[in-house]
Structure 1
């Protein structure tokens, strides 16, 4: 008699998802000898909020501006959505940029345009086939997502600093980005407004499933928003961990951020 054997398919390992952002050996020098980035390496996984800390001039903002091509690095590799953005054609890079939102420190609103016009201008630039009624609906949806639907006809000069940040964020959200880069989102704001912006960043992550890098020196913002923190020092990543881990670091320089 022959013995029957059960045939089973070989087990295969599940493929690990690629990071949403991966930076290797990023270097940037300004002028003759101002070497700001000296080999930055970092990854950001899908759905993660990464906070980058560092002293003024440490290269935090330079790092995220390199990601979207606002600054061209001297050396390194930047992968976004598994594409090396430094080697893409202008057309392909623009396709990637539409999927990335960037919130500037100032909010970067056009002073001569109303809030409605600031948001609709962005939408029309990237989605030319939209009907006016669709544009109006999307503008209002974006404004309501940051709690400022009633500011639609105001001019930037009529807005407080916190409102400008919210409107800037609404303009970022209107294209429904998968990644958002926040450059000092709470700078110049009072404690209460700063917390409101930090809570909004957290709310956006949960509702829209975004992936983010948050550049900040506001430790309250870092504590509230960060899944992970990296600390830049002298052009490289000096330390990495959760807020709680870094707060208890044996490195006195790292601990100084938390005092």
Structure 2
């Protein structure tokens, strides 16, 4: 396995070296299709880790394992110093509340307004919240993604970029310590993609979040990633900074940056 070590390293990597996520020897197969064949990776506290790989390489499967949406066949997944493969549903749900997951399509409820989408999520996890506090938190999180004016709109009235922002707001309303982004800029134009990438950085700085960013968008990878890993044939094939991997001696690795 190639390990492209980082020469130019951000302060986050050098000063915050306690992994908040650590995956060891992760395996997952669907029938005869072995997708993950021993993935090992970690995310430091306060770090944005970008995961690259060809379509079907298992990127999304790996992060779904972190929140228990997919059950691995083998391996350890330590989140907040707890191996989630060895805990019951109650304990897993307690950890899930601390993790935000932004799906590719934002996964909004089409029959609910933006306000109702966010309120439904908050009321499910925060008991006995007053209507006044509920409204205040909804407005606050929408302002953080620049969409306060869309509070009464329906998802069908929103552009792709706006839907993505609302999906991010719904993720953030529970104040997660970890955010998992699955193709956050897919289907967006260049300007909107840049805005979403800027938001990811702003939220990392403001909320001190740790993130895994699955993407095919190299501009997003370069802009948001403190560190990059590349999946190939079910394992981590290369790791390092964007700048280091871009100049790799491995032609296959360099092909991502052309």
Verify same fold: TM over 0.5: yes
Q: How does 1:64-79 map to 2 (within 5 A)?
A: 64-79=63-78
Structure 2 partner of 1:156 = 155
Q: How does 1:133-148 map to 2 (within 5 A)?
A: 133-148=132-147
Structure 2 partner of 1:27 = 27
Give the deviation of 1:72 after TM superposition: 0.5
Structure 2 partner of 1:116 = 115
Residue 213 of structure 2 aligns to a residue in which SS?
strand
* 1:97 corresponds to 2:96: yes
Q: Deviation per CA, 1:129-183: give whole Å up to 9, x if none.
A: 1001000000001100000000000000000000000000000000000000000
Structure 2 partner of 1:202 = 201
Give the deviation of 1:247 after TM superposition: 0.3
Supply the distance in 2 between the matched residues of 1:36 and 1:85 (Cα, whole angstroms). Answer: 20
Supply the distance in 1 between the matched residues of 2:30 and 2:146 (Cα, whole angstroms). Answer: 40
Output the aligned Cα RMSD: 0.8
Contact 1:111 1:156 (8 Å CA) reproduced: yes
Give the deviation of 1:83 after TM superposition: 0.3
* 1:214 corresponds to 2:220: no
Supply the distance in 1 between the matched residues of 2:139 and 2:193 (Cα, whole angstroms). Answer: 23
Structure 2 partner of 1:132 = 131
Give the deviation of 1:62 after TM superposition: 0.2
Give the deviation of 1:39 after TM superposition: 0.3
Query: Tell me, which stretches of 5 or more residues in structure 2 are unaligned?
Result: 1-15
Residue 58 of structure 1 aligns to a residue in which SS?
coil
Q: Deviation per CA, 1:195-247: give whole Å up to 9, x if none.
A: 10001000100111000000001000000000000000000000000000000
Structure 1 partner of 2:35 = 36
Contact 1:18 1:82 (8 Å CA) reproduced: no
TM-score, normalisation: structure 1:
0.93
* 1:256 corresponds to 2:255: yes
Structure 2 partner of 1:88 = 87
Residue 248 of structure 2 aligns to a residue in which SS?
coil
Segments ≥4 residues shifted beyond 6 Å: none
Structure 1 partner of 2:4 = none
Q: Relative contact order (alpha carbons < 8 A, sep ≥ 6): 1 or 2 greater?
A: 2
Residue-pair matches, total: 243
Query: Tell me, which stretches of 5 or more residues in structure 1 are unaligned?
Result: 1-15
Larger radius of gyration: 1
Q: How does 1:173-192 map to 2 (within 5 A)?
A: 173-192=172-191
Give the deviation of 1:17 after TM superposition: 6.0
Residue 193 of structure 1 aligns to a residue in which SS?
helix
Structure 1 partner of 2:48 = 49
Give the deviation of 1:18 after TM superposition: 3.7
